């Protein structure tokens, strides 16, 4: 990469005096602007300005002919254009004063018909113009000043003057048609332009204005247009609108010059534009041809003035090669003599090297990316390159074309052993040819100890046979498949070299579907030639309470799956804020439904993220919605973390609870007490084993604000994976490369069948009972899972699950009845009762304080032993419910569950006694719904009632965002998706459209918060297409390419429909990882576990190795929206970018916008099954490296088979001794190139993205 450096004024002066300056040593790189309005073939004439508009005086010289200071510049071009002129102001009244300091209003002159541009009005000046007695006083008969406007008029012979007025010593002023003098504005007369300064005098010389704009006025006060001017030794060119140009300027007959940001012409110095370099000589023109400079140095500029780099040039019988910095490296000549290519030093005519036939033809066609695949300069054994020539018999050679690339593994191997394997593999896979001594028998004994000459001869002969195959097959498709097949057999070139723990003896697949300890971390390597992947951050494992790196008591590992994003990096932290802001304003920013904006977030993998992001998200949300100490605002914008570590509660409590804690303890307890097939835990665990002890839970604003669940998409995935592992025993890679979609389909069939059974093997038991506990609990926000209401593999919401009726009954009942204090009582070893006392009723002794106190409340009775004997139990519903009728909402029978006592064994209603005691008869049951017992009782009421609590009625702590109280408990979260929901069969079946249609249903069920699926477009190889595996955070689906949930517009409409129904919507935000990047980098890696600690696998490891990881990308969305809103955020909420992150002590950085992700923003990656030994190494152990394009920091070092000193004469090789390029059939060149492109795409099909640059074929 060419460094962008700045040249100081003193350095520039030095460059003007010498032609030995070199751009590689650090001269100024240049702007990208090119003046397209200044292409006229005009000469150059100097005019040194007399004065700037601030009144300063300088000596000037004018000339219309070439002078010694302007040699080769030609005649001056005067500005005569009447078609495009700079606008001058019209005769403006006082009302026009708002046009001051502008060049956009109507132009006015006495005689001009030119198109004009607005300029400042003198009407903005106040006070009388000051004039001395020795300049204007003797010319003017009278000055007339308007007291109202401060304008000045000039009177001559009693008549006010209009137009130009010359006076004194070459001074000039202008009066409009209204006789008012022009000040700080333009005027034109004919095709001549003037500018009048603050004292009314026409300026001369250079005039700076606006945003780094510059113009020039001659001694005659006329503005320069389409002509040159000089000041001292500085040259300028002024375009057709009078502005000094910057950047490249083409003129004349293929002439080129350059003007810097300061508008000064470059002379005797370099400039670059993109990766193109130019040198401008003493007259300012870009040079062409050979240029000698410095101490015997030489460079070359083509007819387009661009410097040659990493390419050849031939002049007569002289051959030159110019390296990565543009310098000629050596001057040699080559000659074909007796079938060999001999290379001579031109200065001494000494033979440097002799290349045999069949050797020099294998050399790379050019030493750059146009002929050699590379990743950041490093060559890969999986790459391809273009040799100079190919042959099918070793006698007749054909010059290669642009599409004639060959695998590097045809020519170069890590060692002799792999070379021998290559020969044997190909001979045994269809490339046998006895004429070349290539038979299965003849190559069987080739190995690493075989003489190198024998191996090289066999390899060369094999190349002839391969070329015959290419001709027969009319392309390289078969070769690409075969070379990939061979590479897969070589450990160092394939996935096995990455050392997956799956290769360890007795490894057991994990039902999570990931291999947590299969990780590499990215490290800064002083010896690496690629530095763009380096980072000074990557603070690993700063999770949960280890934000400062000093508390490992309950932190979680950093690395999880995919490319792990470095959330300690201030640039990434700023990008997170940008992304969050985008989602919170999604509908508006995308121009969709203006109410289609997310309200909050469910934070995925919160345990594995740098804890800074929770602070920063909470700060953004609070800045936007004023949530701290305001439960109304806070509860309208829920944010809830996904994490299974209990220490997260302590972290969030310390931070003022910016997000809800996920009560994983409740999930595990429900599973272990009720969900297991056998060996169930003690039922009293339901009272104590969560973040809240519910033995007598009567407090408000004391418990950790949390959310809880029975199951979710991850747990259901784990269950399905468990079945897959069971069905395919002994396959270590079953959750990786051996996974197949049909395995999951079979597992789902087993699951559905098992779910309907009384005696289950895999599916959860007691799902309704678990939801009864969850939905009656105090001090939590319960979450309902889509897959418990609907069959997950059917079209969206089309098939209800066997538990739909039970769960929805409980959901509606929570809204109607569940409120007040809670007591959970163990009645026996296998039986528990959970009582909610009702709204405004704190405990059993309370009389109640609310009008709904008596008609609200609930009793849930749960048992976990189907063998329980029949018994009658007493439940204390509280004094507020003495002598009250209770309705049998849910009850258990031999056949399942009953609703509203329909078919129940217990009566439809029961009445409490004088003390509020409710007596219920229960026993153990075993059916597909219940394994033990479930009964739910609620007060008898007429009509519907709503016992939820308005957040405006609860007290608040000014230091907290979320608090656990009756208002927060009134919320219910609905997870609206399954990983396994299928692709929709029609637009009507898009999940977003169905959600919009059912918004009222969700409200009726008591849902308040809608956890929306991760809406991001997944990468093409995603297992579930669910949105967690994505690289473009901003692409939420389009009409042309919707996600499996629908398009972004449908999403916005669905959100708006939910809002209309009274729901809030949270997006699943995935900040921990990204999966599926398409671009590679040559990163330096070390093999580690999920905490970034180096590990050994089967006694092996690796560290500081070049790895061609897929790390770059982000898609069009990232390119368009990455960092886009940071300036707006910085303006609205400056505290976001001044508050220092705890982990680094550095605030988020809004100045760098991530429009493309790359390794410098990542901690590492899960193993990508590429191969750790793919980077080509030289015999001395150094990595091969290509000095070209942006990789010109180091010298090219290629394998001898591809490059040697003979490279420097390749121009000779490419132009002589070859037959015309061989044709494969009668297809046109265009058809051939199209085929080659398609074949090239298949060359590396075993990896996520091809290394070869398709665009060059």
Cβ proximity of 859 and 834 under 8 Å: yes
* Cβ neighbours for 98, distance < 8 A, ≥ 6 positions apart: none
pLDDT confidence band for 864 (50 / 70 / 90): very high
Does residue 157 lie within any of the structural domains?
Answer: yes
Task: Report the interhelical angle of 452-473 vs 416-427 (nearest 10°).
Answer: 40
Mean per-residue pLDDT, 46-53: 36
Which range marks the domain in which residue 1227 is found? Answer: 384-497+1194-1242
Indicate the range of 84-93, 159-168, 587-596, 621-630 predicted with least confidence: 84-93
Compute how many other C-beta atoms are within 10 angstroms of the C-beta atom of residue 137.
11
Note the pTM of the prediction, 2 decimals. 0.73
Does residue 366 lie within any of the structural domains?
Answer: no
pLDDT at residue 355, as a whole number: 74
Does residue 1204 lie within any of the structural domains?
Answer: yes
Which residues lie across from 566 on neighbouring strands?
Answer: none
What's the pLDDT tens digit per position in 444-475? 999 999 999 999 999 999 999 999 999 999 99
Indicate the range of 73-82, 724-733, 1001-1010 predicted with least confidence: 73-82
Asked if 126 and 182 sit in the same domain, the reply is yes
Asked if 179 and 144 sit in the same domain, the reply is yes
Asked if 853 and 916 sit in the same domain, the reply is yes
Asked if 461 and 523 sit in the same domain, the reply is no
Q: Which helix (H) or strand (E) holds 784?
A: strand 781-785
Q: Indicate whether 53 pLDDT > 50.
A: no
Q: Indicate whether 119 pLDDT > 50.
A: no
> Of the residues 238, 265, 280, which one is the last residue of a structural domain?
238
Does residue 1116 lie within any of the structural domains?
Answer: yes
Does residue 777 lie within any of the structural domains?
Answer: no
> Of the residues 182, 213, 238, which one is the last residue of a structural domain?
238
Task: Report the interhelical angle of 477-487 vs 1229-1242 (nearest 10°).
Answer: 20
Provide DSSP, 1191-1256: --SS--B--TTT-SGGGGGHHHHHHSSPBPPP--SS--HHHHHHHHHHHHHHTTTTSSS-SS-GGG
Asked if 103 and 173 sit in the same domain, the reply is yes
Asked if 843 and 876 sit in the same domain, the reply is yes
How many domains are there within the chain?
A: 4
Mean per-residue pLDDT, 88-100: 34
> Of the residues 238, 255, 290, which one is the last residue of a structural domain?
238
What's the pLDDT tens digit per position in 1231-1250? 444 444 444 444 433 333 22
Q: Indicate whether 938 pLDDT > 70.
A: yes
What's the pLDDT tens digit per position in 127-167? 333 333 333 333 333 343 443 334 566 656 667 889 999 99
What's the pLDDT tens digit per position in 1020-1062? 778 898 888 799 999 999 999 999 999 999 999 999 999 999 9
Read off the CATH number of the domain in which 1162 is found: 3.20.20.80
Mean per-residue pLDDT, 309-317: 74
Mean per-residue pLDDT, 569-577: 98
Maximum distance among all Cα pairs of the chain, rounded to whole angstroms: 126
Asked if 483 and 525 sit in the same domain, the reply is no
Asked if 426 and 490 sit in the same domain, the reply is yes
Read off the CATH number of the domain in which 915 is found: 2.60.40.1180
Read off the CATH number of the domain in which 153 is found: 2.10.270.10
Cβ proximity of 1240 and 405 under 8 Å: yes
Does residue 715 lie within any of the structural domains?
Answer: no
Separation of first and last alpha carbons in the chain: 24
Asked if 100 and 216 sit in the same domain, the reply is yes
Does residue 611 lie within any of the structural domains?
Answer: no
Q: How many angstroms separate the CA atoms of 433 and 684, rounded?
A: 78
Asked if 558 and 455 sit in the same domain, the reply is no
pLDDT at residue 1236, as a whole number: 45
Q: Is 878 left (phi over 0), alpha (psi -120 to 50) or beta?
A: left
For residue 1111, which of 1141, 1081, 1082 has the smallest C-alpha distance? 1081
Q: Indicate whether 530 pLDDT > 70.
A: yes
* Cβ neighbours for 695, distance < 8 A, ≥ 6 positions apart: 687, 688, 823, 824, 825
Does residue 1209 lie within any of the structural domains?
Answer: yes
Asked if 875 and 916 sit in the same domain, the reply is yes
Q: Distance between alpha carbon 1107 and the CA centroid of its chain, in Å?
A: 21
Q: How many angstroms separate the CA atoms of 937 and 782, rounded?
A: 20
Cβ proximity of 631 and 967 under 8 Å: yes
**Mean confidence (pLDDT) of the chain:** 84
Cβ proximity of 121 and 185 under 8 Å: yes
Q: Indicate whether 1180 pLDDT > 50.
A: yes
Q: Indicate whether 647 pLDDT > 70.
A: yes
Asked if 488 and 517 sit in the same domain, the reply is no
Cβ proximity of 797 and 984 under 8 Å: no
């Amino acid at each position: 990469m060419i460094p962008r450096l700045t040249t100081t004024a003193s350095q520039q002066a030095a460059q003007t005096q010498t032609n030995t300056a070199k751009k590689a040593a650090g001269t100024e790189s240049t702007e990208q602007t090119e003046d397209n309005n200044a292409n006229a073939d005009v000469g150059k004439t100097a005019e040194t300005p007399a004065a700037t508009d601030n009144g300063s005086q300088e000596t000037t010289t004018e000339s219309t002919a070439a002078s010694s200071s302007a040699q080769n510049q030609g005649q001056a071009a005067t500005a005569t254009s009447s078609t495009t002129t700079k606008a001058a102001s019209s005769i403006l009244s006082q009302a026009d004063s708002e046009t001051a300091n502008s060049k956009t209003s109507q132009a006015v002159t006495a005689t001009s018909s030119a198109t004009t541009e607005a300029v400042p009005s003198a009407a903005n000046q106040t006070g009388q113009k000051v004039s001395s007695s020795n300049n204007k006083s003797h010319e003017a008969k009278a000055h007339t000043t308007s007291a109202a406007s401060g304008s000045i008029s000039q009177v001559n012979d009693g008549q006010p003057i209009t137009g130009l007025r010359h006076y004194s010593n070459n001074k000039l002023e202008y009066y409009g048609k209204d006789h008012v003098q022009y000040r700080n504005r333009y005027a034109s007369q004919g095709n001549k332009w003037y500018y009048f300064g603050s004292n009314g005098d026409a300026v001369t010389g250079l005039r700076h204005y606006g945003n780094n704009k510059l113009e020039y006025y001659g001694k005659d006060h006329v503005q320069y247009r389409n002509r040159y001017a000089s000041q001292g030794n500085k040259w300028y060119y002024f375009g057709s609108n009078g502005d000094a140009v910057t950047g490249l300027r083409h003129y004349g007959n293929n002439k080129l010059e350059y003007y810097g940001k300061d508008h000064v012409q470059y002379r005797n110095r370099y400039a670059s534009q993109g990766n193109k370099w130019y040198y401008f000589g003493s007259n300012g023109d870009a040079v062409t041809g050979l240029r000698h400079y410095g101490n015997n140095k030489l460079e070359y500029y083509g007819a387009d003035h661009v410097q040659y780099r990493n390419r050849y040039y031939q002049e007569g019988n002289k051959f030159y090669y110019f390296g990565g910095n543009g310098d000629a490296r050596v001057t040699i000549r080559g000659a074909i003599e007796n079938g060999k290519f001999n290379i001579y030093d031109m200065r001494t005519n000494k033979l440097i090297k002799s290349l045999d036939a069949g050797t020099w033809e294998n050399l790379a066609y050019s030493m750059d990316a146009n002929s050699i695949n590379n990743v950041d300069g490093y060559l890969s054994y999986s790459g391809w390159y273009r040799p100079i020539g190919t042959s099918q018999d070793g006698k007749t050679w054909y010059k290669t074309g642009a599409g004639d690339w060959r695998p590097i593994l045809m020519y170069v191997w890590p060692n002799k052993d792999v070379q021998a394997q290559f020969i044997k593999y190909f001979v045994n896979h269809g490339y046998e040819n006895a004429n070349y001594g290539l038979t299965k028998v003849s190559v069987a004994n080739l190995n690493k100890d075989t003489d190198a000459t024998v191996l090289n001869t066999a390899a060369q002969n094999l190349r002839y046979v391969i070329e015959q195959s290419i001709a027969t097959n009319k392309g390289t498709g078969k070769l690409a498949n075969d070379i990939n097949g061979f590479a897969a057999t070589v450990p160092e070139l394939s996935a096995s070299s990455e050392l997956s723990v799956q290769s360890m003896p007795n490894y057991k697949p994990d039902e999570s579907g990931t291999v947590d300890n299969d990780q590499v971390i990215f490290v800064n390597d002083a010896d690496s030639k690629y530095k763009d992947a380096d980072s000074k951050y990557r603070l690993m494992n700063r999770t949960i309470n280890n934000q400062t790196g000093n508390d490992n008591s309950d932190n979680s590992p950093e690395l999880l799956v995919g490319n792990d994003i470095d959330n300690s990096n201030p640039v990434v932290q700023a990008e997170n804020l940008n992304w969050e802001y985008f989602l919170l304003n999604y509908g508006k920013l995308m121009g969709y439904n203006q109410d289609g904006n997310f309200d909050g977030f469910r934070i995925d993998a919160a345990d594995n993220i740098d804890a800074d992001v929770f602070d920063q998200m909470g700060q953004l949300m609070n800045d936007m919605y004023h949530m701290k100490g305001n439960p109304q605002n806070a509860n309208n914008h829920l944010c809830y973390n996904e994490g299974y570590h209990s220490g997260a509660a302590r972290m969030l409590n310390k931070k003022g609870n910016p997000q809800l804690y996920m009560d994983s303890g409740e999930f595990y307890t429900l599973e272990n007490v009720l969900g297991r097939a056998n060996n169930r835990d003690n039922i009293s665990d339901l009272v104590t084993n969560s973040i809240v002890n519910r033995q007598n839970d009567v407090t408000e604003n004391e418990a950790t604000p949390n959310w809880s669940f029975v199951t979710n998409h991850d747990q259901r995935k784990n269950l399905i994976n468990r079945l897959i592992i069971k069905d395919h025993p002994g396959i270590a890679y079953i959750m990786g490369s051996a996974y197949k979609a049909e395995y999951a389909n079979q597992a789902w069939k087993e699951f559905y069948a098992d779910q309907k059974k009384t005696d289950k093997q895999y599916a959860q038991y007691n799902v309704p009972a678990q939801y009864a506990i969850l939905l009656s609990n105090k001090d939590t926000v319960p979450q309902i899972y889509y897959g418990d209401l609907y069959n997950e593999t059917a079209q969206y919401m089309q098939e209800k699950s066997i538990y739909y009726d039970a769960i929805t009954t409980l959901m509606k009942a929570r809204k109607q009845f569940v409120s007040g204090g809670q007591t959970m009582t163990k009645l026996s070893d296998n039986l528990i009762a959970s009582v909610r006392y009702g709204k405004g009723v704190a405990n059993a002794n309370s009389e109640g304080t609310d009008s709904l106190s008596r008609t609200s409340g609930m009793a849930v009775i749960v048992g976990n032993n189907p063998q329980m004997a029949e018994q009658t139990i007493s439940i204390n519903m509280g004094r507020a419910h003495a002598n009250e009728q209770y309705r049998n909402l849910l009850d258990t029978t031999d056949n399942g569950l009953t609703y509203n006592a329909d078919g129940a064994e217990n009566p439809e209603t029961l009445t409490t006694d004088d003390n509020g005691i409710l007596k219920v008869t229960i026993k153990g049951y075993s059916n597909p719904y219940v394994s033990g017992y479930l009964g739910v009782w609620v007060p008898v009421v007429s009509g519907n009632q709503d016992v939820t609590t308005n957040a405006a009625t609860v007290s608040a702590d000014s230091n907290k965002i979320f608090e656990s109280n009756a208002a927060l408990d009134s919320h219910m979260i609905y997870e609206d998706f399954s990983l396994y929901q299928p692709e929709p069969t029609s637009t009507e079946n898009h999940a977003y459209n169905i959600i919009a249609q059912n918004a009222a249903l969700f409200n009726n069920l008591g849902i308040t918060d809608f956890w929306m699926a991760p809406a991001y477009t997944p990468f093409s190889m995603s297992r579930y297409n669910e949105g967690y595996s994505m690289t473009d955070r901003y692409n939420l689906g389009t009409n042309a390419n919707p996600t499996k949930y629908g398009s972004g517009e449908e999403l916005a409409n669905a959100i708006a429909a939910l809002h209309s129904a009274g729901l809030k919507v949270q997006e699943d935000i995935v900040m921990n990882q990204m999966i599926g990047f398409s671009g590679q980098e040559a990163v330096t890696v070390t093999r580690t576990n999920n905490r970034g600690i180096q590990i050994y696998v089967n006694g092996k490891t690796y560290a500081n190795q070049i790895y061609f990881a897929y790390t770059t990308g982000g898609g069009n969305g990232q390119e368009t929206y990455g960092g886009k809103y940071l300036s707006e955020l910085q303006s609205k909420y400056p505290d976001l970018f001044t508050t220092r992150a705890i982990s680094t002590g550095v605030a988020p950085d809004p100045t760098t916008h991530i429009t493309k992700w790359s390794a410098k923003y990542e901690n590492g990656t899960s193993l990508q099954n590429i191969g750790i030994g793919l980077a080509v190494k030289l015999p001395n152990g150094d990595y091969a490296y290509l000095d070209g394009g942006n990789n010109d920091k180091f010298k090219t070092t290629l394998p001898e088979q591809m490059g040697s000193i003979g490279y420097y004469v390749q121009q000779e090789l490419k132009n002589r001794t070859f037959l015309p390029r061989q044709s494969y059939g009668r297809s046109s060149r265009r058809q051939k190139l199209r085929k080659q492109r398609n074949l090239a795409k298949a060359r590396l099909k075993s990896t996520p993205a091809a290394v070869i640059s398709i665009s060059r074929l």
